[in-house]
Amino acid sequence: MARHERGSETSSTSLHHKERGLGITEDCRIYEAPDWRAVRPRAISVAVIDRYLFTRECITKSLQALRSDFDIESYATTDNCLQNTRSPDIILYYSHGGVINQGDNQRQHECLDILQKIAPVVILSAVDCPEAILAALEIGVRGYIPVASTSVELAIEIVRLVRAGGTFMPQSSLFCEGPTGEGQTFEGSRPTYLRGAK
């Protein structure tokens, strides 16, 4: 009878401590049990590369304000990014030029080739013509974000999609010619679509 009472007492003690968020071993030693509610998924590491300080800070602060699970580092140059010993999960590269692989932009092409060896790359650019978008995708980048027609919220979803293995391509890249002239987009072609994760 006494053994039964001790067992009941142990069971009651164990229940009491579980309610308090504590664990109890078989020999009744109490330990602090981990709170599963405090376990959070690993943050997505994002590197922002932009030689212009103003746009670099705008991108970084906008993402930080909307996503607490983004660990963001910003750099003025590709070399600065490569000096970081920790590789990011994804790289946002702001291109302040035209078509990536033409003329003066050949240097950007070389930088992107290097960056793609360490993480998926998504380009941000004010250039929103099919020629520029397709040229970027042809060299292997995983996404192209036209900043004139893409919200911050959509940019965040693009980051998450590319991180999961997908590719983002603006719908305007499907059009090679529009009523305003060759190499421009059709009016109303601003909406984008996502090509699913691999």
pLDDT digits (tens, 9 = 90+) for 13-51: 444 444 444 444 455 555 555 554 555 567 899 999 999
Q: pLDDT for 87-139, tens place per residue? A: 999 999 999 876 665 665 677 888 899 999 999 999 999 988 888 888 888 88
Residue ranges per domain, the chain? 2-38, 44-195
Tokens 């590197």 locate to: 47
Q: Indicate yes or no: pTM above 0.85.
A: no
Cα–Cα distance, 129 to 53 (Å, whole number): 25
Query: From residue 57, how far is each of 35, 78, 84, 101, 191 by CA, in Å?
Result: 36, 16, 19, 26, 26
Q: Minimal CA–CA distance to 174: which of 162, 182, 186, 157? A: 186
Architecture of the domain spanning 44-195? 3-Layer(aba) Sandwich (3.40)
